[in-house]
Amino acid sequence: MAERQLWNMQDSGDSLIKYLDKIDSTMGKRWTFRIILTLRRRKTTRYNDLLKLLDGISPSTLSSNLKSLQSIGLIQRKSSGKIPPLKVEYSLTEKGFDFLIASYPLLKWAVNNPTLNC
């Protein structure tokens, strides 16, 4: 039903562009999908483990992406311990899992179009 509402909008598409801009501002970043997929596979993951698993990402880029994903509710950050070094773990939220489910058709399309010049 929501899909029908989306595609039956009577405007010139400006509303859709606004939604795409919201998505693109965070999800268009290079490492976003990789971080989310890594967290999906590993449930909870510590920062340094993410840094190792995401070969090639810089610490500042990882920190920035984690903060961005946390701010929109796709991941959660849990810290334990009161004296440094704190144990900080990241995991997907239910909203993050919903995002993955919504992304599967796009990922499937990309897999089925290997000649895509991206």
pTM of this structure: 0.77
Per-residue pLDDT, 4: 54
Is 2 inside a domain boundary? no
In a domain, 118, yes or no: no
Tell me if 54 sits within 8 A of 35, measured CB to CB. yes
In a domain, 117, yes or no: no
Q: What is the CATH number of the domain that holds 41?
A: 1.10.10.10
Domain count, the chain: 1
pLDDT in tens, 1-12: 455 555 555 555
Does residue 74 contact residue 82 with C-beta atoms inside 8 Å? no
Instruction: Say if 3 falls within a structural domain.
Output: no
Query: Is residue 12 situated within a structural domain?
Result: no
- Give the structural domain span for 100: 18-111
Domain assignment present for residue 77? The answer is yes
- How are beta strands 44-46 and 87-92 bridged, if at all? antiparallel
28 domain-assigned:
yes
What mean pLDDT comes out for the span 4-28? 67
